[in-house]
Amino acid sequence: QAGRYRQFFQLGVEAIGSDDPAIDAESILLMIDYFRSVGLKELTLYINSMGCENDRPKYVELLKQYAIAHEQELCKDCRKRVELNPLRLFDCKEESCRRVMEHAPKITDYLDEDCKNHFNAVRRYLDMQGVQYIIKPELVRGLDYYTKTTFEVVSPLLGAQNAIGGGGRYNKLVEEFGGPPTPGIGFAIGLERLTIAVEKEGAFVAMEEKTDAFIAVADKAVKEPAVNLLYALRGAGIATDIDYTGRSLKGQLKYANKKGFRYTIFLGPQELETGIVQVKDMKTSEQYAIKLNELVDWLSNIVKSQTMGSGVTKQS
């Protein structure tokens, strides 16, 4: 079958140690940005929440009862799945099963408060960046260890096997293997399908590694504005990162210096109130006071001038 292989290669990305919904959105946007960077434009993003151990058992039981009531309409394989794992019914390609599952209970209607808030926060971060997506309650991603966020990107150019990347959160996976509580999220991109999609769209753009700016968040109350700034800077071509692990301000500066970020942007309640942020040049130790609404253009011009080998003019 075209696009489906017995052996294949994939590119994987994992973010371990944080349950912050901002990093779910970060992972999704990273995958989307990667696809765009190699020339793909015709993409559809699907997202869902798989809930957690607090709400999923109730939903699975409701789904099971629904499937039993429609058992005669299901294929032979799906009748076996009803008892073993009713969530797998959503994966079936048989038309009769697809018709039944179109009207099945939706997991997004049964999320507990924590999972609902988490999913809404992920959506809010995506909305802030103008990312178009479709909520697909039947998106279960084929692996039982997923919790909360799942996502998938498909290309309409690839026919039936059209998923070119996808992933989700797996907060309990490490514990299932005897380890400590370790939340995580990740995704994989199928390189063979990606290559086919790139060939069909006829574009490829070379990439280079950059570490331009780091946003040091002084107070968690400004996390959402900080994430919004993160993507505004990235949208201007400035390689920018932010902390997702709850480091202190001192720890964030140490991290930024270790990773080689040229500029650190300090953002806290005072900066939001005054509309002025402090930007430190980590190479020269010089510090600049820049209006927040001018920061993207200012830093973009500096990064471009450095790329061309010219100097930086100090501003105040």
46 is in an annotated binding site: no
14 is an annotated ligand-binding site residue: yes
Residues 6+ apart with CB under 8 A from 285: none
CA distance 150 to 168: 4
Q: How many CA atoms lie within 13 A of 87 on its CB side?
A: 17
32, amino acid identity: I
141 annotated ligand-binding residue? yes
How many Cβ atoms sit within 10 Å of the Cβ of residue 286?
11
Evaluated on CA atoms 164, 168, 174, 175, the torsion sign reads negative
In order of 29, 32, 157, 206, 234, the CA distances from 37 in angstroms are: 12, 9, 18, 8, 13
How many angstroms separate the CA atoms of 118 and 312, rounded?
42
138 marked as binding residue? no
Q: Residue 97 and residue 81: Cα distance in Å, rounded?
A: 12
The response to whether 79 counts as a known ligand-binding position is no
Residue 312 and residue 281 in contact, taking contact as beta carbons nearer than 8 Å: yes
- Binding site as annotated, residues: 10, 14, 141, 145-146
- Binding site as annotated, residues for L-histidine: 10, 14, 141, 145-146
